[in-house]
Structure formats: C-alpha cells, structure tokens
Amino acid sequence: MRRLSVHDLKPEDSLRLVFEGAFDPLAPRESELTPVLQALEEHADGWMPDVAEGKRRRKYTRTAIWKALDEERDDVYTSLGLYRTKWPALDMTLALWLPPRAPMLDISINAKPLSFFAEAERCLKFVEMVRAWASRYLVSHAVAHSNDDINLARFPDFGRDKETWFRDGFDKIYEVCWLNVFGPKLVETVGRERMLSAPAWRVEELPNGGVLLVTRPTVTDFASEEARLVQARVHCHLRPDLDFSTVLRTLRERSATLAPVEPRFHPELAPLLSRVVDDVASYERQRKIAELNAWQPPEPEEWRPADSALPSDVEDPERACAHYRYLAEHLVALLHTKVPSIFEATPESLTEADFYFWHEEFPTSRLRENIDTRAVPAIGAYLGQVLVRNLGGRWIPREKLEEAQVLVGHRVWFPFVRARHYMRSRQALLDHSLTWLYRVAERHRS
C-alpha cells in the first residue's frame, strides 16, 4: 500500500495543526482515545486518513491504530502516523507521552494543499473537530494556520533561544493564528473577560475553562488585508502592550513575502533554477524566485582563444585522455544512484548534477580534503567529456590537471579549473555551474 506524502506534491502551502492536551494515562487506552478518532471520522471532510502506520503500514481501522500504538511504544512514548493514499495529502501524527513524564496527547496535522480548505463549510467541520478534542482534553496550547505563514512567524519558539523557549513555553500570546485554543492558565493570564470579548469571528468558552478563538470563517485567505486587520486587532486586544501599527506592519510584510512572483529566469538556466526553487521550503519560494529573477550568471572565465592554447606536454596523449575518462567514471560512480542520467553524459546530465550538488549542499557538507582531491578532478573530467562527446571537443592533455584543455571551435576550455571554482561554495554551484559553461561553449562553438 503506497501512501501519498505531502512531499510528493508540488511545493505549496498546507494547513498545519498543532494540538497538545492532557489525558488520563490510567484509563483504558481505547476509551481514552476513542473521542479523538470519533471526532476525526465525523469531521474530516474529504481528507480522512485511510492508512495507519506504526512499524507496519495498514489500512485505517481502529484495530490497526491500537496495533500501531503497541508496536511503537517504549517506556515514555508511543505514536503512529495517519496518511492518505490519494489527494489531498495528509501527514498526521498521534502521539502519547507517558509517565514518568507529564502525560500529554500530542496531535499534529499537515494537510496539503491549503487551497483544499477554501470552502467555509469544510473549515467549519475542521473547527468542530478541534473543538471536540479541546472540550475532551485539557489543552495547554493548540493552533491551526497556514504552514507557510506560521513558519515565517518562527513558530513555535517565535525567535526565542531554546533555553527561554523550553523554560517559558507559551506563557503569553506570541501570535494569533486562524484557529487558536488557549488553555485555562493562559486565559487567566490574559483575563477571561478580555479573552471572551476578542474581536474575532468565533470566540467560545469551553467546558474545561479553555477558550476557542477563530479569526475568520476560512483559513485560505489568511494573507488578505481584511484577514491581517482582524489578526492584528485580535492580537493587540489580547496583548494591550503591543503596538497595533507594528503588529500590522509585520503581518503585511509576511503577506508580501508570500505573494506570488512570476519566474523570469535566465532562459538557458531556467531548468536548473526551477529545480532550485522547488527545493526550498514553500514559505521561502517566492523570495527565492525574486532573487533568482534578479540574478545573472557571471560569464565563464575558464577559457582562452584557441590560438593561445597551451600545447600538450605529455608523452602519451591517448593515455592521458584515458585517464580523464577514468576520472569521469568516478563521478558516474558517485552520482549514478541519485542521478541516473549521469550515465548519458549529456547537457541535461550536467543540469542534473548541478542540482544534486546544490540539494546536497555539497561544498559545505563534505570534507574539504575529499572535495579537492576526489570530487574536483572527477567533476572536471566529466565536464570535459561532455564537451568532447556533445560539442565535438578535443582534449589537449597537460601534466597538470588544471592546465588540461578541451578545444571547442575557436576557444579552449579549462574544465578542471571550472570544477575548482564550482566547488568553492553553494552559491558558486550556480555562479559557476557546469550547465552554464556548457551553454556558453555551445554558443561559441562555430
């Protein structure tokens, strides 16, 4: 049974829920958790999980859930994952923290795409599900919101260092989300009367003393001006110490960061840059598109006019060329699992390699000694072989690798020098990409 992951879909926003509540560890587990599943099954409108996963993956049933919790249990913790096999994607975790730790029911939901929740009726059912949970389990803190926006707010630490975050937790209202459940302690800190008079779409006192607050009927328009005004008003109502204009300005800046940007990449590098954009977190996507729209690749410097080429200084040129082919095979051996097209030695293979090294943050994630002594020679040799195979290039061997050249048309190229520049940093992977050198060489071939 193959489950659909949120990572299988294109990079875009999702609905995120974080719910932390108390439960009775002495009560029978099935009776204690049945209200969670009952509310889920009743209100999950179109996004109901159909897979339950512990150590094994099973079709969603109550029995499968109890088995998964048994499989994953240790002394203080047990959990399972709930997923879907079809769109929309769901990544849901149900976890229990057990004594001697403070008993806690921990539920997280990531449902993708966020646009699936555009209808008010579907959002209302989601709210009713959380309301049922929060009425049954005393909540310390729970929120549901745009995953992109909540990441920009730096949830859950909100910019505090780890020590402060772990010490203080949610001791005050750092952010107002689309859906919020405030536990009794936080309600009393704010003031119950003030909390219940917040200017939100729905404010409801729960039987256990908590308060459910929902800013608007729908979550998908969170970044609109109207939604931001409500969000700022509610936050400043609950936190009179905050300045409304400052809060609203911050929210508007987040909306601007998430506003769609049309890609206008350098045409010869668009396939590579599109993959780079798809590789960043979705809340950083628009900012990255804007950055790459403005970026232009530096003209390659690793060339000379053909009439200035260094003459070969090796005794056996064919043996030297065989050595370059041997070094290129090292790159094939390194990348073939993750980059199958590396076998083909085409321009597209160079783009795939460029993206692989970018994704892996290769210049900073590997030992520098290994990069300089192994990766750089292999990359340079492979680049040279692609020039030879696809552009009719010819090696001009030299004793020193960095002086070896490939003659293409009226220019000679230094692939090993390019590889050294390429591996300096992550940004250098773009500035000195293999793809870009190839395209420039192709342009000057005749």
pLDDT in tens, 152-167: 998 877 787 878 766 7
Dihedrals phi, psi of 303, to nearest 5 degrees: -155, 165
Mean pLDDT value of segment 164-192: 89
Residue 438 is predicted with a pLDDT of: 98
What the block records as the tokens of 248 is 């609203």
Considering only CA atoms, which of 364, 376, 368 is closest in space to residue 414?
Answer: 376
Residue 7: pLDDT over 70: yes
Chain segment 374-410, per-residue pLDDT in tens: 999 999 999 999 999 999 999 999 999 999 999 999 9
Q: Angle 294-297-303 (CA atoms, 0-180°, nearest 5)?
A: 165
Average pLDDT, the chain: 95
Residue 10 is predicted with a pLDDT of: 86
Name residues whose C-beta falls within 8 Å of residue 329's C-beta, 6 or more positions apart in sequence: none
Query: What is the model's pTM?
Result: 0.87
Mean pLDDT value of segment 120-141: 96
CB 348 within 8 A of CB 297: no
Cβ count within 10 A of residue 68: 23
Using a pLDDT cut of 90, give the percent of the chain over it. Answer: 90
d(CA 20, CA 180): 12
Cβ count within 10 A of residue 110: 17
CB 342 within 8 A of CB 324: no
